[in-house]
């Protein structure tokens, strides 16, 4: 069945470091791909999305490129801030259903 | 624009008791979702409504969970009786074919349930 695999956390970085959170997926067809973020005490928020191969989603300095050949959608940011500390979820939309990875906690130290 | 509202935010109950959660989606959003998020895992879809009809409830444990969306607006999720393994955050989300498209689901803050 359809699934999403994310790198395990926590990922701990110093402020201004480069961030990569790996995400790979298994799906039939051509799903849409998403990154959601969950800040402490808050609900999930859509961070970015891509709907077809080679699309790049971007928002708030974060980017991810839909790579069909490697079935990946890795999240990157060039310079993280303390305020980026949160849990990040990769997800795919197969037909009408969102399927989430297990989440990766990011801790950014000043 | 108001977001998805959920209540209560926290609930602690004993096993075998009943509990109900309420969700009010973003105004005009026809599609409503209930997810279960167990600690350390990603959210898992329990049930999806389109207006007041059920689109998918294949992952809903129907022997103890029930959900309704009367009048196609707000929704209630009930657990009766609760088990220890039901301890989780219950998330409600909504989406619209118009605003943001069906791909974009907007989530509420969730209800954290602890079953003792």
Interface of A with B in 63-82 (CB under 8 A): none
pLDDT at position A12: 97
Nearest 10 degrees: Cα torsion A87, A92, A97, A101: -40
Q: What b/e string do you get for B5-27 counting C-beta neighbours within 10 Å, with b at 16 or more?
A: ebeeeebebeeeeebebebbbbe
The answer to whether A51 contacts B103, with C-beta atoms less than 8 Å apart, is: yes
A3 touches B: beta carbon within 8 Å: no
The answer to whether B56 contacts A97, with C-beta atoms less than 8 Å apart, is: yes
Residues of chain A scoring pLDDT < 50: none
The answer to whether A43 contacts B105, with C-beta atoms less than 8 Å apart, is: no
B98 band by pLDDT with thresholds 50, 70 and 90: low
Length of chain A: 110
Residue B15: pLDDT over 70? yes
Where would I find the beta strands (DSSP E) of B1-116? 5-7, 10-13, 19-24, 31-37, 44-50, 53-56, 65-68, 75-79, 88-95, 106-107, 111-115
pLDDT at position B6: 96
């Amino acid at each position: 069945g359809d699934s999403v695999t994310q790198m395990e956390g926590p990922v701990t970085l110093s402020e201004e470091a480069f961030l990569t959170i790996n995400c790979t997926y298994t799906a039939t067809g051509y799903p849409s791909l998403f990154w959601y973020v969950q800040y402490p005490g808050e609900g999930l928020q859509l961070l970015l999305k891509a709907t077809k191969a080679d699309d790049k989603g971007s928002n708030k300095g974060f980017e991810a490129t839909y790579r069909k050949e490697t079935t990946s959608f890795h999240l990157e940011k060039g310079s993280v801030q303390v305020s980026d500390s949160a849990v990040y979820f990769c997800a795919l939309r197969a037909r009408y259903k969102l399927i989430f990875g297990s989440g990766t906690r990011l801790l950014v130290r000043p | 624009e108001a977001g998805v509202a959920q209540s209560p935010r926290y609930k602690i109950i004993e096993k075998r008791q009943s509990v109900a959660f309420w969700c009010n989606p973003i105004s005009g959003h026809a599609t409503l979702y209930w997810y279960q998020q167990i600690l350390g895992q990603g959210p898992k879809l329990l049930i999806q409504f389109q207006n007041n009809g059920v689109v998918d409830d294949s992952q809903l444990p129907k022997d103890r969970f029930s959900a309704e969306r009367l009048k196609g607006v707000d929704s209630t999720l009930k657990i009766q009786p609760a088990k220890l393994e039901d301890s989780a955050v219950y998330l409600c989300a909504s989406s619209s074919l118009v605003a943001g498209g069906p791909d974009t689901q907007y989530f509420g803050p969730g209800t954290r349930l602890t079953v003792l």
